[in-house]
Structure 1
């Protein structure tokens, strides 16, 4: 029996602040605890909705091991105090894990297999480093035809910069603007609607008393944006991936910790519980590109997502283009002719941070709330993905 296609709506979208890794504010906070926090807040945002109707939680994570292993999704559901009837699955599409989780949750609803789903992502790069603790690479990736899979992310950014002729000066200017926009957005309170504050509890030995002192603080701002960033300072940084390259720590995304969560429902649930949707999930696309130039992936995924939505690229009012590197972001902007004013209006990963598998869910929360504040119609989350992919998802304000 063929199920009727129906729309999927976002009724809650939230995220933690993003901490700097490996020595930032969340260095001792487990990623599953960050996920628990956003799950609880997302559910609290729709008090009219019976949590027992949630069927499954799909959670993205780029390196699902150690503190974020053992099916973190299901564990977090239980630890969050949600009904035991809710399932959980942890998925991995590297940097696009979070947006893929949203798309998968929406698909379950759109084909009529579920009416309420949780989607999200969590990642601690402080606790689980890039490549994980015990990487084991298939030797076949070092063969000539596959060697692009063995390239580090920074080297792929250098190749994109060379092929698309993105200069060091352009990259540093893009980086500075990312910090400027992020600082301005923080000062204007633009992130408040999407943010779930996190209480950090720290324990210190008191040598005088022999006891443990406990201190707590609540954080509600991203840790990465720098008001003291300057062109002069960025220009002094040396390339880190190629001796005569242009990609530096200053024009690359920050390693980070964070989590995000969304609740996705059918139209039937909207009416039954009198819920106000934040947005409709419109379309999603993934496309592959040569692994050695993985950063250009969004240039293939963006047009595909627009075609699937039946709209043109010019109709997108807000692009959350994940800034893995300034080089690849600028290459995508140039290649597709994107309006720079529409791309990351509140800064991107260079300033705000990039907690890998969580980023897609985090930036989904950003664009959904931005569309409502600014009275815009269509927003997109898009990013390049390791091993040579691009992903893009479109949301519509309703």
Structure 2
């Protein structure tokens, strides 16, 4: 009899005569050799773009130390890693650089490397890509990475499309800046500036409490790098060990004093205090099949169950999580009350307010360590970073199930 069957029988015995086995109970009790499991989850600190410790660090300067750490901390023979998938948005030569970075980090030429992009969810797409290959038997072991240097690879906006494309209002909306979509959400769904500042202040306060308590310490890899000191003009070696964007003492009242960042787009409620910060950082997730992990003596931090995607109207792209999360929960037979932690990317406060209220979520379960408003959103990194953070939080609180979601440029979730 398998361990999962024994566990199911134990649960059945415990619940006999009282209530039937719930979908959550069954999900948690089931263990299969072919499960996709996570054996290591790690990230760099998140540093302020253009002025933080990583402002002079190229993308490879984030990738190489992170991949080195995955190899060293897991004590896994790099020859066994069949593929590394890197999510990145802005680097123009990402496919070349990620392959080179993996080799520089000690992975052999036999380790295949690919680069994926789905804007803000590129890190999630990397995890999904590796997990699905393991689930279908294509590979046994892979590493998913999300990484972005917004300092050295700035976002230049949408390309120029043919006039025939731009005549289509949906395509025209795809080309618009993301803050424009945030203001559309605020206007269309009556998300007030006051509510946005309230949610943003809550993010800062959670992040402050988390950082002071040392909760993120086990998810963060300290990184040593070099930067040009803006005061002295000299190049210095610095070590970064914590997220730079957290502003202690932030309140709704203090945020309310910040002027609108985009007065040209009514209702002009988005500010530098209630939107995600421009940030540099990277995150990595080591995945493998359960029986392989057990054979290699790898710790199992969690199990990848399922992912899904959904498209929405680009002009209100922030509603994405409110569409994608119910779709995912329906597919796995769970309700929102079965979920212990929701990691929802805080692209803008207007979308966060809408999604949390539309889904009827307990705010205490949403981004319990704060989110991108408080410590930043390195575009390609955040999806993988959310998984790293969620696993650390589940471990700390001895909880079991987390869901990650985000709205994505061009309106996907």
Distance 2:90 2:161 in 1: 14
1:64 aligns with 2:94: no
CA offset digits 1:63-95 (Å, max 9, x no partner): 2315xx343331221111222211111100000
Paired residue for 1:234, among 223, 248, 255? 255
Root-mean-square deviation (CA, aligned residues, Å) is: 2.1
CA offsets per residue over residues 241-296 of structure 1, 9 Å max, x none? Answer: 22542111211100110001111001221121122201000110110000000000
| Alignment match of 2:166 (pick from 119, 142, 148) | 142
Offset of 1:380 from its aligned partner? 1.3
- Where does the alignment leave 5 or more consecutive residues of structure 1 unmatched? 391-398
Superposed counterparts of 1:196-211, under 5 Å: 196-202=221-227
Aligned in 2, Cα 1:138/1:130: closer, same or farther, shift over 3 Å?
Answer: farther
Question: What is the aligned partner in structure 2 of residue 249 from structure 1?
Answer: 272
1:186 aligns with 2:214: no
User: TM-score, normalization: structure 1?
Assistant: 0.90
How far apart, in 2, do the equivalents of 1:274 and 1:113 lie?
22
Q: 2:56 matched to 1:28? A: yes
Give a deviation string over 1:165-188, Cα, whole Å, max 9, x none. 211001011111111110110110
Map 1:65-80 onto structure 2 (within 5 A): 65=92, 69-80=94-105
Most deviating of 348-357 and 223-232: 223-232
Change (3 A) 1:213 1:248: closer
- The CA deviation string for residues 298-318 of structure 1, in whole angstroms up to 9 with x for no partner, is 111101221232322211100
Change (3 A) 1:234 1:140: farther
Whole-Å separation in 2 of the counterparts to 1:137 and 1:81: 41
User: Post-superposition shift, 1:46?
Assistant: 1.4
Aligned length in residues: 378
Secondary structure class of the residue paired with 1:294 = helix
Q: Contact (CA 8 Å) 2:53, 2:238: kept in 1 or not?
A: no
Residue 224 of structure 1: SS of its match in structure 2?
A: coil
- CA offset at residue 37 of structure 1? 1.3
Q: Which runs of 5+ in 2 are unaligned?
A: 1-31
Counterpart for residue 170 of structure 1: 195
2:305 aligned with 1:277 = no
Q: Give the aligned partner of residue 148 of structure 2.
A: 123
Decide which moves more: 325-334 or 151-160.
Answer: 151-160
Contact 2:277–2:376, Cα closer than 8 Å, also in 1? yes
**Structure-2 residue corresponding to 1:298:** 321
Given candidates 9, 14, 19, the residue that maps to 2:47 is 19
Map of 1:393 onto structure 2: none
Q: What does the per-residue CA deviation read over 1:200-243, in whole Å, with 9 as the maximum and x for residues that have no partner?
A: 224689x9xxxx97632211100000014333332122222225
CA contact (8 A) 1:95 1:386 kept: yes
Distance 1:155 1:266, change over 3 A: same
In terms of fraction of residues, the more strand-rich structure is 1
1:362 aligns to what? Answer: 385
Give 4+ residue runs of structure 1 displaced > 3 Å after superposition: 134-141, 202-205, 212-215
Matches of 1:97 and 1:138, distance apart in 2 = 26
1:116-150 C-alpha deviation (Å, 9 max, x unpaired): 00101110111111236x94445445324322212
Q: Matches of 2:164 and 2:271 in 1, distance apart?
A: 30
- Maintained 8 Å contact 2:85/2:144: yes
Output the TM-score relative to the length of structure 2.
Answer: 0.87
